[in-house]
Amino acid sequence: MPTPKISPSMLSSDFAQLGAEAARICSCGADALHMDVMDGHFVPNITLGAPIIKSLRHHTGAFLDCHMMVSDPEKWVDDFAEAGANLYCFHLEATRDAAALIQQIKATGMKAGVAIKPKTPVDAVLPYAALADMVLVMTVEPGFGGQKFMPECLPKVRVLRERYPDLDIQVDGGLALDTVDAATEAGANIIVAGTAVFKADDPKHVIETLRDSVKKHVDQ
Q: What would the pLDDT profile of 138-166 be if each residue is shown by its tens digit?
A: 999 988 777 889 999 999 999 999 999 99
- Residue 220: pLDDT band (50, 70, 90) is low
For 168-210, write each residue's pLDDT tens digit.
999 999 999 999 999 999 999 999 999 999 999 999 999 999 9
For 1-57, write each residue's pLDDT tens digit.
799 999 999 999 999 999 999 999 999 999 999 999 999 999 999 999 999 999 999
Q: Cβ distance 57 to 64 under 8 Å?
A: yes
The reported pLDDT for the residue numbered 219 is 59
Q: Which residues are annotated as a binding site for substrate?
A: 9, 67, 143-146, 174, 194-195
Mean pLDDT score, 111-132 = 98
Q: Which residues are annotated as a binding site?
A: 9, 34, 36, 67, 143-146, 172, 174, 194-195
The reported pLDDT for the residue numbered 88 is 98
**CATH code, 186:** 3.20.20.70
Mean pLDDT score, 85-93 = 98
Q: What gap in Å lies between CA 102 and CA 88, rounded to an integer? A: 9
Active-site residue, from 36, 39, 65, 168: 36
The reported pLDDT for the residue numbered 4 is 96
Q: Cβ distance 139 to 114 under 8 Å?
A: no
Q: Which amino acid is at 52?
A: I
On the question of pLDDT at 72 being above 80, the answer is: yes
DSSP H helix total and E strand total for the chain? 9, 8
Catalytic, 36? Answer yes
End-to-end CA distance of the chain: 7
Active-site residue, from 31, 65, 168, 172: 172
Higher pLDDT, 136 or 145: 136
- CA 180 to chain centroid, in Å, comes to 15
Q: Which residues are annotated as a binding site for a divalent metal cation?
A: 34, 36, 67, 172
On the question of pLDDT at 114 being above 80, the answer is: yes
Q: Which residues contact 29 (CB under 8 A, 6 or more apart)?
A: 6, 204, 207, 208, 211
Mean pLDDT score, 79-83 = 98
- Give the 3-state secondary structure of 90-158: EEHHHCCCHHHHHHHHHHCCCEEEEEECCCCCHHHCHHHHCCCCEEEEECCCCCCCCCCCCHHHHHHHH
Catalytic, 172? Answer yes
- Residue 112: pLDDT band (50, 70, 90) is very high
Q: How many other C-beta atoms can be found within 10 angstroms of the C-beta atom of residue 163?
A: 12
Q: What gap in Å lies between CA 124 and CA 135, rounded to an integer? A: 12
The reported pLDDT for the residue numbered 190 is 98
- The strands making up 190-192's β-sheet, listed across from edge to edge, are 5-6, 190-192, 168-172, 134-138, 111-116, 87-91, 64-69, 33-38
On the question of pLDDT at 115 being above 90, the answer is: yes
Q: How many domains does the chain have?
A: 1
Domain that holds residue 127: 5-217
